[in-house]
Each structure stands twice: as structure tokens, then as C-alpha cells.
Structure 1
């Protein structure tokens, strides 16, 4: 994402992780698959958070 010129604000990690969680739980039906679906949704949200937090950190270092 850095190489393509994308920048992240300080609120981007939170917004993207919440949207990933809602997308996996509600729109993809993870809530109906019990604890496995919830675990996948939380893991996906954590991944989105870390991805944008790292992007934000890279841009702050430059």
C-alpha cells in the first residue's frame, strides 16, 4: 500500500478494523457459524488494524 502511495490517518486503523469486523460478522454471515465465525471475524479485524497502523507508522517515520 505504501508503494502505491496510499496514506493512513491516525483514525484509519480503527475505522478499517470495525468495518472488517462488521463485514465478516454481518454481511458474510460469520455470526451464524458460532465461535469459529466470530474468531475469523476478530482475526480479520485485527489484521486490518495492524495493516493500517503499520502504514501509519511508516509514513510518520518518513
Structure 2
């Protein structure tokens, strides 16, 4: 289900950008307080990448 809707693409791009930032920040996630957030961002990133690859 690949939408060509500009807003959807913009939101996805923004989310991917945030996810990439989160991935690069992973090595600094040493406290348990932010570890959950890191795992959460990784999960979002992997879902978005699967969606992105399916559309291309």
C-alpha cells in the first residue's frame, strides 16, 4: 500500500530522519531510563525501512 500523498511522504521522511538520529545515538544509551526509548526508536526505524523498501 504505497501512498503518493505528499503529506504521508513528508511525515515518513521526518520519521526516518528522527529514527536515523536515534540509531546514531544508540552507543550513548547507557542508562535504563533512555534505553527503552532507544529500543522504541529502533523498532520504528525498522518498520519504516520495511515500508520504504516495499514501496521501491
* TM-score normalised by the chain length of structure 1: 0.47
CA root-mean-square deviation: 3.2
Q: Deviations over 1:20-61 (max 9, x none)?
A: x6xxxxxxxxxxxx811211011101111111011000111x
Aligned residues: 42
Matched, 1:53 2:49: yes
Whichever structure has more helix as a proportion of its residues is 2
The equivalences for 1:1-62 within 5 A come to: 2=1, 9=9, 11=13, 12-15=15-18, 17=19, 35-60=31-56
* TM-score normalised by the chain length of structure 2: 0.50
Ranges in structure 1 where 5+ consecutive residues have no aligned partner: 22-33
